[in-house]
Amino acid sequence: MQLPIMSGHLEDDVLEQYALNRLVGANLDTVDDHLLVCQACQIRVAEFDEYVAATRPALRSLRVKKAGLPPFLRNVFISHGGPSITHVEAVCELLEVLDLTPVVSIYMPNLGLSIHDKVRKCMRICSSAVVLATPDDDEEVASQTRRTRPNVEHEIGMLQTMPNIGNRIVYMKDPKVESPSNYREKCWIPFDKDRASESFVALIKELRAFAL
Ligand SMILES: [Zn+2]
């Protein structure tokens, strides 16, 4: 039986069957192929996965899962300040060359979510992350604080609690930026957003160490 697919995306009941590990053969292949290229449906299936885990613990134990890793191994969450994003695009291009898929929240569909929920769900479909802590673009703000944008600091806290990401976080920081005390102890790779490529060798080394 061919699966019903509505407006190009997988229907809810299909995703539910997938989350319950009930699809086989061609149907499973169809869903896997779509999920490989559609981050919106990855987010939706991650939601079903959480729902199944929360409401049907008995079923969860029947599911085959890779220890600690989500099905979207090659997704890499990018945490960055804004609004200039030339350096983010440079990092995205590097990841794509490495056959990894960058997940940048602002490029993802909103799916009717709050900003916090959207960021959390984007993290949920990743197995690693790259933090780009750069000074605030606003010169006036930058002259008053040596901290990076608040959203980046907030996202670091969130990333550190995501079980699917674990320790697979690459911290990159402009030497001018001061880190808050709760993660000052992490090793940072120096990163200048106007010379992003100078940090790429170090970034590749870290990503390879994750063995994704
Ligand atoms: Zn889709």
Residues 44-71: tens digit of each pLDDT = 888 877 777 777 655 554 444 433 334 5
Spacing, Cα 152 to ligand 1 middle (Å)? 28
Spacing, Cα 38 to ligand 1 middle (Å)? 5
Residue 9 scores a pLDDT above 80: yes
Spacing, Cα 78 to ligand 1 middle (Å)? 21
- The CATH superfamily assigned to 75-209 is Toll/interleukin-1 receptor homology (TIR) domain (3.40.50.10140)
Nearest 5°: the CA angle 117, 102, 135 is 75
Spacing, Cα 34 to ligand 1 middle (Å)? 6
Residue 94 scores a pLDDT above 50: yes
pLDDT, residue 7, reads: 61
pLDDT tens digits for range 68-84: 334 577 899 999 987 78
Spacing, Cα 30 to ligand 1 middle (Å)? 11
CA–CA dist 2, 26 (Å, integer): 8
- How buried is residue 52: exposed, middle or buried, by Cβ count under 10 Å (0-12/13-18/19+)? middle
Domain boundaries, the chain: 5-60, 75-209
Confidence of residue 155 (pLDDT cuts 50, 70, 90): very high
Residue 147 scores a pLDDT above 60: yes
Closest CA to 197 of 126, 118, 91: 91
The three-state secondary structure class of 11 is: coil
More confident site: 184 or 148? 148
